[in-house]
Copies of this chain bind each other. A is one copy, B any other.
Amino acid sequence: MSKEKEQTSISELGEFGLIERITKDIQIKNSSTIEGVGDDAAILDYKEKQIVISSDLLTEGIHFNLMYTPLKHLGYKAVIVNLSDVYAMNAVPKQITVNIALSVKFSVEAVEELYLGIHLACENYGVDLVGGDTTSSLTGLTISVTVLGEIEKDKAVLRSGAKRNDLLCVTGDLGGAYMGLQLLERENEVYKVNQKMQPQLDGYDYILERQLKPEARKDIVEALKKLEIKPTSMIDISDGLSSEILHLCKNSNVGCNLYEDKIPMDEQTKQMAEELNINPLVAALNGGEDYELLFTISMNDFEKIKNDPDFTIIGHITEASEGTNLITSGGSAIQLEAQGWNHGK
């Protein structure tokens, strides 16, 4: 067996040895982190600011398939998914805790790969890993991350502030993560039938990266601050545009018109959709996992963003009584529908 492939069983190191292995190189980046990992709890100090807190759970076979998801990417994504929630509050993430449950199929080296991704995300976003729990499970891998962020008083942007006539904006492009997933699933099916087949992934780097190594829109929170725009409401796009718009409208007690031909999509997303005979609009509306930001701004702020390539205005807010509509390219209005994990996601 070559040195690269040597695997250590977790029982050899034990729980405490494993924790030591994955936490030994942690360096604290934020002055609000007083004590990090190693005690019953971490200690944080936020003085005059408010804290935001959010949690997400990823389970094997539901949120990820280890057949085509490198563990390092998975660790990275598990953190990103949470940071995205903090940015969606207009806040800055500062600390995370990570709980993982592992079945016996995972080696110490596998856990280290996972933590390489977790540490890299912490590094890239200036976040401190301050605690967590590492335990066993009967089957598969579960990752639960909690993130804390800070925000100045009265600067938090909730889902509930959208007003009639506000503009509905989105960052980046949509549907890419979903089409990346479809491509990975297709190649995985081919591989299961014939293990000599090499996966055909060329030319689809962008949508694969959208699925396997998404980023959170830290830059948008910074850009909004620079532009002196405080959105009236904001949410991140984890479940698909349709579902997130419905959340905003419900919490703000408003309606909206969303314009089909305004929804930003990348060329690769459209190409893959055509290749797989999927309507790209479905990928954008219901696909999810794009981790872009959806927000509303006052009409008065229109001039500040109209030429910024990071933002696309995709519709506007109406009275609740007017409903939540998708206006198709043909000009007809269709009621938007909610998605969630009950729909087979």
Cα(A46)–Cα(B53), bound, Å: 13
Whether a CB of chain B sits under 8 angstroms from the CB of A202 is no
The answer to whether B135 and A63 touch across the interface, beta carbons within 8 angstroms, is: yes
Residues of B within 8 A of A140 (CB): 137-139
Binds B, one of A146-154, A222-230, A264-272: A146-154
Whether a CB of chain B sits under 8 angstroms from the CB of A142 is yes
The answer to whether A40 and B88 touch across the interface, beta carbons within 8 angstroms, is: yes
Cα(A97)–Cα(B151), bound, Å: 19
Point out the residue from B132, B137, B151 that lies within 8 Å of A55, measured CB to CB: B132
A6 → chain B closest CB, angstroms: 19
Residues of B within 8 A of A99 (CB): 55-57, 144
A300 → chain B closest CB, angstroms: 24
* A60 to B, closest residue via Cβ: B138
Whether a CB of chain B sits under 8 angstroms from the CB of A30 is no
Cα(A130)–Cα(B51), bound, Å: 12
Residues of B within 8 A of A63 (CB): 135
Residues of B within 8 A of A56 (CB): 99, 133
Point out the residue from B41, B62, B132 that lies within 8 Å of A136, measured CB to CB: B62
Whether a CB of chain B sits under 8 angstroms from the CB of A249 is no
Cα(A235)–Cα(B251), bound, Å: 42
A4 → chain B closest CB, angstroms: 25
The answer to whether B59 and A52 touch across the interface, beta carbons within 8 angstroms, is: no
The answer to whether B340 and A62 touch across the interface, beta carbons within 8 angstroms, is: no
The answer to whether A42 and B15 touch across the interface, beta carbons within 8 angstroms, is: no
Whether a CB of chain B sits under 8 angstroms from the CB of A116 is no
**Among A39, A86, A149, A341, which residue has the most Cβ atoms of chain B within 10 A?**
A39
Whether a CB of chain B sits under 8 angstroms from the CB of A188 is no
* A91 to B, closest residue via Cβ: B41
Residues of B within 8 A of A35 (CB): 156, 158
Q: Which of A324-345 contact B (CB under 8 A)?
A: 338, 340-342
Point out the residue from B15, B38, B53, B138 that lies within 8 Å of A44, measured CB to CB: B53
* A57 to B, closest residue via Cβ: B99
Cα(A100)–Cα(B59), bound, Å: 10
A35 → chain B closest CB, angstroms: 7
A211 → chain B closest CB, angstroms: 18
Whether a CB of chain B sits under 8 angstroms from the CB of A10 is yes
Among all A-B residue pairs, the 7 with the closest Cβ atoms:
A15-B340, A144-B144, A41-B54, A41-B52, A57-B99, A146-B146, A40-B88
A–B pairs, 15, beta carbons within 8 Å:
A35-B156, A39-B158, A40-B159, A41-B89, A42-B53, A43-B51, A51-B51, A55-B146, A59-B136, A62-B138, A97-B146, A136-B341, A137-B140, A139-B140, A146-B146
Given A15-B340, A39-B89, A41-B89, 14 new contacts (CB under 8 A): A40-B86, A40-B159, A41-B91, A44-B50, A45-B50, A45-B153, A46-B51, A55-B132, A55-B133, A55-B144, A57-B135, A62-B101, A62-B136, A99-B144
